[in-house]
A and B are shown apart, each in its own frame.
Chain A
Amino acid sequence: MAAQIGRESFLNELTRPDVISRLRVNPKSTLETAFANAHRAIESALRNYYESTGWIIMRHKDGYYLRSRGPFGPLACIHGGTTATILVLLDGRRLIVANVGDSTALICGLSPNHMRSIDTWTPLPQFVQSEVPYTPFVPPSSNVMNIPPTYDPLPTDIRNVYAEITTDHSPENLNEYFRIAQFRSHPMMPNVPELQFIYDSKSPSVDRIPIFHYSQDGTIHRTGKGEYYKNVRSEWATFVATPPHAPFQDALAFTRSLGDLHLQTYGITHVPSITWIDLTKPSDITSDARKVYKVQLPQHIQASLVSLCICNPPESKDIIHDIVHSPTCPVFFLNPIEPVASYPLAIMIGSDGIWDNWVYSEVSSFMLDPKRIKEAMQNNSISSIITAFIQNNLQRGNINFGPTADNMTAITLYLLPKLYP
């Protein structure tokens, strides 16, 4: 229920034209607002659901809900929530990823060096959003040559290049440990969160071992004493849990989520981690290319022009100077918008039922297999790729987890540079 409510909230909000415009200017606040609204929608839906089924709902002063059958009935805490990973490909050239929880996204073909903090976001100039790359306007009577970009075949070693573009929210993330400790610390230990960060155990009677431990000199380190791996990447099964003295017991396998109102009082948050990638090559579009030049044009064209945009300027500035000599209209010389890579890129977003069964390099090799890409381009379809992927995942899930295999959901994107041969 929480996932469905969250999906509807995101769809209703993020697809509005005014929200798309806000994403261009300030994606951080826009996405944080969308996540906050989805969180509130889930909160409201949980309350409405229980009220509609005859429960008496009480809101605790800390913000979570309790339910009871009557004024003297036992109180139970309302649980439930969802992960959320939202990917925005903005104006065909910028990729923004926001996530809470462990629904990971992977980009295959690009290294982590391309990832940027959302704090480095600068809006594109307005005129760029409507320009058309690779269809340059060449001024008449000029000798400016349009030089189309060239593309390389898929490099064989690129399949080993990938980047996790979502942020890790597992309980083993030290940054999250510190964040939650700052939000609500242990009453006796200010550097330790009241929420427990612990390794899971298959035996219910065994005491769980803490993930982090402070040495006597004050340094913190991972104990590394997990009992079993939760996935094929040898990551320990971990979770965060309410302290033993908490009036209601609760646990979660990650440190951020939508919903989970009770755990949010201990530091679980619905605020997403956001990163972005520029999918185009850096250009001087905001500096040198915005200089205003003058160009000689026939009178009948001059009369109808307010300004002129010339894409794909030649490499040699001498040629530009040859045509820039007459006071007519302002001209913007823009470098071509070129893809960040000259070969196909692939993006995989998946729920943990996918990532439990794959090492990241395996996914990258699978997605960037030249045979699969060639077949997809010939058929103008990637149906066969995602079908093969999910069938492979079903087999892996059956082998690794048997009847306890998790739900598996995948979204696959292929980004082929225009004019890719």
Chain B
Amino acid sequence: MLYNLPLLSFLDFSDFLSNPSALAQYTGRIHEGISSNVYKIYAAAITDPGVAGKQNQDDLFLWESPDKQTFIAGILDGHGRDLGQVRLILFPLLPCIMRFKYFSNTSVAYHETHFCSWLLRLDVNPF
């Protein structure tokens, strides 16, 4: 899962070149050996939450053209209220929390939907 890798983890993403759709799936990554007519190019990228357990709102991508002459890289640093974070962090805990305490006879999907609505109704950003 995105952002679920341990600190300083790297993935060899040579497979991303042959499968561009996989670009969206990696976090820590190293890519090297890109070549152009003029330069031999090495590229590497890494992202880290900075503090263990902190939500990482950064994102990045690397792309190389099939003829290895054009290379594109990007970094994006998200900010602001983002309730997607609530879903990412709290939802894995929901099944055990809700089944155990309150809603033992109802489906998890039902609780997820209504728990999210409940959080949104509070109009607070817990992060």
Chain A residues 380-407 with CB under 8 Å of chain B are 380-383, 385-387, 390-391, 394, 397, 403-407
Contact bitstring B50-91, A, C-beta under 8 A = 1, else 0: 110011111111110100111111111111111110000000
By a CB distance below 8 angstroms, the chain B residues around A280 are 38
Enumerate chain B residues within 8 angstroms of A129, measured Cβ to Cβ: 69
B42 touches A414 (CB 8 A): yes
A73–chain B nearest beta-carbon distance, Å? 9
Chain B: CB-nearest residue to A11: B61
Cβ-defined contact, A15 with B79, below 8 A: no
In the complex, the answer to whether A383 meets B44 with C-beta atoms within 8 Å is: yes
Q: Using known A-B contacts A89-B70, A411-B44, A412-B43, determine if residue A79 contacts B81 with beta carbons closer than 8 Å.
A: yes
CB atoms of B69 and A92 under 8 A apart? yes
A141 at the A/B interface (Cβ < 8 Å)? Answer: no
B8: Cβ under 8 A from any A Cβ: yes
Q: Contact at B83–A414, with CB atoms within 8 Å?
A: no
- Output the least CB separation between A81 and chain B (Å): 6
Given contacts A7-B76, A79-B80, A84-B74, contact A414 B38 (CB under 8 A): no
Decide: A391 and B8 in contact? CB cutoff 8 A.
yes
Enumerate chain A residues within 8 angstroms of B120, measured Cβ to Cβ: 50, 53-55
Q: What chain B residues lie within 8 Å of A1 (beta carbons)?
A: 78, 82, 84
- Cβ B46 vs Cβ A91 within 8 A: no
A82 and B77 contact, CB distance less than 8 A:
yes
Query: Given the known A-B contacts A103-B76, A339-B39, A351-B75, are A386 and B30 also in contact in the complex, defined by CB atoms under 8 Å?
Result: yes
Cβ contacts under 8 Å, A8 to chain B = 24
What residues of A have a CB within 8 angstroms of the CB of B98 in the complex? Answer: none
A4 within 8 A of B: yes
Let me know if A53 and B80 touch, CB within 8 A: no
State the Cβ distance, A276 to closest chain B Cβ, in Å.
14
In the complex, the answer to whether B72 meets A408 with C-beta atoms within 8 Å is no
Tell me if A136 is interfacial: C-beta within 8 Å of chain B.
no
Given A382-B44, A409-B60; A92-B32 close (CB under 8 Å): no
Give the shortest distance, in Å, between B120 (CB) and chain A (any CB).
6
Residues 91 to 120 of chain B near chain A (Cβ within 8 Å): 116-117, 120
A410 an interface residue at 8 Å Cβ cutoff? yes
CA distance A65 to B69 in the complex (A): 42
**B59 to chain A: which residues have CB within 8 Å?**
3-4, 6-7, 82, 409
Q: Does B77 lie within 8 Å of A15, measured CB to CB?
A: no
B74 touches A7 (CB 8 A): yes
- A360 vs B23: C-alpha distance when bound (angstroms): 30
Within 8 A of B (CB), among A39-77: 49-50, 53-55, 69, 74, 76
Residue pair B84, A49 in contact (C-beta under 8 Å): yes
Complex: A1 Cα to B78 Cα, angstroms? 7
B77 lies within 8 A of A101 (CB): yes
Flag if A418 contacts B61 (CB, 8 Å). Answer: no
Indicate if the CB atoms of A11 and B63 lie closer than 8 Å: yes
Q: For residue A76, which residues in chain B have a CB less than 8 angstroms away from its CB? A: 123
> With an 8 A cutoff between CB atoms, is B6 at the interface?
no
**Is the beta-carbon distance between B37 and A2 smaller than 8 angstroms?**
no
Determine if A414 and B77 form an interchain contact, defined as CB atoms under 8 angstroms apart: no
Residues of chain B contacted by A397 (CB below 8 angstroms): 50-51
Name the residue among B33, B49, B77, B78 with the largest chain A CB count within 10 angstroms.
Answer: B77
A54 to B83, CA, bound (A): 13
- CB <8 Å contact, A407 and B69: no
Contact B48 A411 (CB under 8 A): no
| A134 CA / B44 CA spacing, docked (Å) | 27
Contact between chains at B78 and A93 (CB < 8 Å): no
Please provide the chain A residues from 256 to 285 with a CB less than 8 Å away from any CB of chain B in the complex. 257-260, 279-280
Contact B80 A20 (CB under 8 A): no
Q: Which of A1, A74, A349, A394 has the most CB of B within 10 A?
A: A1
Contacts of B8 in A (CB 8 A): 387, 390-391
Contact across chains for A88 and B72 when beta carbons are under 8 A apart = yes
A313 within 8 A of B: no
Report chain B residues within 8 Å CB of A257.
79
CA distance A408 to B8 in the complex (A): 11
Q: Which residues of B contact A382 (CB under 8 A)?
A: 30, 32, 42-44
**Quick check: is B36 within 8 A (CB to CB) of the other chain?**
yes
Can you add 10 more A-B contacts, CB < 8 Å, to A103-B76, A380-B33, A409-B58? A2-B79, A4-B24, A11-B63, A53-B83, A80-B78, A82-B78, A92-B37, A382-B32, A394-B48, A413-B41
Using CB atoms and an 8 Å cutoff, list the residues of chain B in contact with chain A: 2, 7-8, 10, 20, 23-24, 30, 32-33, 35-51, 54-63, 65, 68-84, 116-117, 120-121, 123
Ranked 8 nearest A-B pairs via Cβ: A92-B36, A3-B78, A80-B80, A3-B59, A409-B58, A3-B76, A409-B47, A1-B84
